[in-house]
A and B are shown apart, each in its own frame.
Chain A
């Protein structure tokens, strides 16, 4: 898990709060925010489209289900445990290996976000699908 305030490194995750939330004073002028779409394009990805369907299908075809990954715990159990545990109070300190790797992954994704921030909107779409023909 990654925590922290809104320092520059974390800005990416809260940018929509600065742009869409906050006190609005309508008698003031809102500066023209050309480039705003760059920051928000992710939210507009349409899920129900032929392209998306085909991308999912191809992603499924590529998966190797036998590749021995441990089946994840059922989510309902997980949250149930948390809520119960929560009522009992704090749990042991130190981060688990899992949490560390999550933190590392997040650091990477923050860096990636930093990169993405500088790129034009078009490049930010995830690589869709690779036609073989």
Chain B
């Protein structure tokens, strides 16, 4: 019978799963499977699985529950093994690798930071600071400048936005880098200029939160900083 696999933990992890349920509707029951020094947290695989909010939340809730009691290797969402034996085989064959990762991630958590600037505010700054952009904008508003002017202004502004986003991303990352063991960036989307994960020692969590809070206050209301964590080390397994 196919099983959905959530996480790998060490055998000595308490493996308490009170209050959490697995993916699927109705939610599947969680159980563990142990081979030698490692355990996998699994459930029966639902017949059909889609990246629905409910199932993603269930996957995440299992990680958080386990993380509360120790180190966890979170699987990516959506992995299904043919049967329990297939899971046992993987736990055997990759035992050294998993044990090494568990050791390396001991007392570490992931924090994910997304940061963006309100687009209108950024455009406003660009117009205030770039004489060329401001002049073109005035021309267009005055009905002069010809049919190609909007495109030229847009292109100039788009380049300026990209440059500003890169600069903002670098500055914010720089301010936090010293607090993290590792970092891992993802391509930001929408108005965001930064999407980055930090691997942080438990004893640096408070400091990280404080520094991000300070950054948010200093940057002001046009900026939007979302710090998520502590998370299992998805980006560092």
> Chain B: how many interface residues by the 8 Å CB criterion?
94
Given A75-B168, A86-B214: A60 and B221 interface contact (C-beta under 8 Å): no
B56 near A28: Cβ-Cβ < 8 Å: no
B230 near A63: Cβ-Cβ < 8 Å: no
- Confirm or deny: A122 has a beta carbon within 8 angstroms of a beta carbon on chain B: no
| A72 CB → nearest B CB, Å | 6
From residue 20 to 56 of chain B, which have CB atoms closer than 8 A to chain A?
Answer: 49-53, 56
Chain B residues within an 8 Å CB radius of A48:
158
Chain A residues within an 8 Å CB radius of B90:
25, 27-28
From residue 78 to 118 of chain B, which have CB atoms closer than 8 A to chain A?
Answer: 78-82, 86, 89-90, 94, 110, 112, 114
Prevailing SS type, chain B contact patch: helix
A6 near B151: Cβ-Cβ < 8 Å: no
A102 near B73: Cβ-Cβ < 8 Å: no
- Confirm or deny: B119 has a beta carbon within 8 angstroms of a beta carbon on chain A: yes
| A119 CB → nearest B CB, Å | 13
Chain B residues within an 8 Å CB radius of A1:
212-213, 215-217, 225-227
A21 near B167: Cβ-Cβ < 8 Å: no
B224 near A57: Cβ-Cβ < 8 Å: no
| A65 CB → nearest B CB, Å | 6
Choose one: B56, B64, B73, B140; the contact of A15 (CB below 8 Å): B56
A75 near B167: Cβ-Cβ < 8 Å: yes
Prevailing SS type, chain A contact patch: helix
| A73 CB → nearest B CB, Å | 7
A5 near B231: Cβ-Cβ < 8 Å: yes
Q: Which of A23, A25, A48, A102 has the largest number of chain B CB atoms within 10 A? A: A23
A22 near B76: Cβ-Cβ < 8 Å: yes
The interface of chain A, by Cβ under 8 A from chain B, is 1-8, 10-11, 13-25, 27-31, 33-36, 39-40, 42-43, 45, 47-48, 50, 52-61, 63, 65, 69, 71-73, 75-76, 78-79, 81-83, 85-86, 90-91, 95-96, 98-99, 101-102, 105-106, 109, 117
| 6 sampled A-B residue pairs with Cβ under 8 A | A22-B237, A25-B81, A33-B51, A36-B51, A61-B140, A63-B127
